[in-house]
Amino acid sequence: MKFKKYLNESMQRHCAIYKAKNKKWYMELADDEYGEQYDATTYGPFNTFKAVEDYLDQFSNPGGMNIDKSGKKMVPKRSPNGMPVEKPRR
């Protein structure tokens, strides 16, 4: 019997959503299960928190996330994994 992988499955991995000093929202998401922050790709900028949530729906459930609405974080120039910040695809 074959099983399909559905997007609503949970995969425990680093996920953080935050507002940066430019008043835009960013999301860090590790690519692999049990991935840590240093494994994460940053996606953004997003204009609203809701836009980040909607974008996250295209990935498997990360099993939890950190949310920082303070707007005190620096605007990311690179992802924690060293790759460029990925612009959200529509």
Domain residue spans in the chain?
15-71
How many whole angstroms separate alpha carbon 53 and alpha carbon 77? 21
Cβ burial 76-85 (10 Å sphere, 16+ → b, else e)? beebbbeeeb
Rg, C-alpha atoms of the chain: 13
| Per-residue pLDDT reduced to its tens digit, 23-72 | 999 999 998 989 999 999 999 999 999 999 999 999 988 888 999 999 99
- For the entire predicted model, the pTM comes to 0.86
68 in the Ramachandran plot: left (φ > 0), alpha (ψ -120 to 50) or beta? beta
Residue 6: predicted pLDDT: 44
The two three-digit tokens of residue 86, written as one number: 């990925």
* Model confidence at 74: pLDDT above 50: yes
